[in-house]
Amino acid sequence: MHVILIAAQKGGAGKSTLAVHLSALADRDGKTLLVDTDPQGSLSMWHGRRTAETPCLTRASAQAVPEVLSTARREGVAWAVIDSPPHNTSLISTLMSRATLTLIPVRPGPFDLDAVGATLAMARSLKAPMACIINAAPPTTRGERQTSAVAETRAVLASMGAPVLPGQVSQRASLSHALITGQSVDEYDPHGRATAEIAAMWSTVSELARSLPRHA
């Protein structure tokens, strides 16, 4: 089983939105479990509005996560996607130690870049495989590869020695509209640009995760 943790010690990084849309694509690759460890319960709210039966979801405390993952493995789950709470260093550390890959969403901007260092340092101290995702980025215009804000963010992350995945997840209305109706963006707008970006990101994430040792 591959365990994908989405973690950022700063709030507002877009972790829950990424967890929903990536997990829906993961479910196409194999049985997928969403694990909601954030007291805010955003994943649980989305799942409660959903008509489709998959991906499955469970809420769990830090203490319960190891047993949740062990049960998932016994039940043939291929992918576990964990949404972690911000501002909870001990819980994030516990989850990182059990993750195949930790994804760190970073919004272009000084506040997110200033905050990401703590999450990077934690992953390094645990020797946990990690990668940053440029999230909620300004959409590119026709013929534009990336905006100046995204280019600057990549440069800063590179100066910090942080691995950054190619591409970006842009700030697009369809990502939020899908959540309101209990859908993933590929269900809500299958031919849209947001779906294309998320699909490309999942392809990169899943390929990277498969190259790493499986956990849990």
* Phi/psi of residue 75, nearest 5 degrees: -90, 10
Q: Angle formed by the axes of helices 173-180 and 15-29, to 10°? A: 80
Q: Which CATH class is domain 2-210?
A: alpha beta
Q: What is the mean pLDDT of the chain?
A: 93
Question: What is the pLDDT, as a whole number, of residue 215?
Answer: 58
CA gap 186, 157 in Å, rounded: 29
CA gap 201, 58 in Å, rounded: 24
Average pLDDT (123-134) is 97
In Å, how far are 44, 105, 144 from 148, measured between CA atoms?
A: 36, 18, 10
Question: What is the pLDDT, as a whole number, of residue 9?
Answer: 82
State the DSSP code for 139: P
Question: What is the pLDDT, as a whole number, of residue 189?
Answer: 97
pLDDT tens, residue by residue, 133-171:
999 999 987 667 889 999 999 999 999 999 999 999 999
Q: Which two tokens stand for residue 204?
A: 């990169």
What is this structure's pTM? 0.94
Segments making up each domain of the chain, as ranges: 2-210
Question: What is the pLDDT, as a whole number, of residue 143?
Answer: 66
- Strands of 166-209 (E only): list them: 169-170
Average pLDDT (40-46) is 94
Average pLDDT (79-105) is 92
Provide, rounded to the nearest whole percent, the portion of the chain with pLDDT above 90.
82
pLDDT tens, residue by residue, 97-113:
999 999 999 999 898 99
DSSP labels, 96-115: HTT-SEEEEEE-SSHHHHHH
CA gap 6, 197 in Å, rounded: 17
| Sheet-wide strand order for 79-83 | 56-59, 32-36, 79-83, 2-6, 101-106, 130-137, 169-170
pLDDT tens, residue by residue, 53-78:
999 999 998 789 999 999 999 999 99
CB of 137 closer than 8 Å to CB of 150 = yes
State the DSSP code for 169: E
Among 90-94, 118-122, 133-137, the range scoring the smallest mean pLDDT is 90-94
For residue 24, pLDDT over 80 is answered with yes
For residue 28, pLDDT over 70 is answered with yes
pLDDT tens, residue by residue, 195-216:
999 999 999 999 999 999 875 5
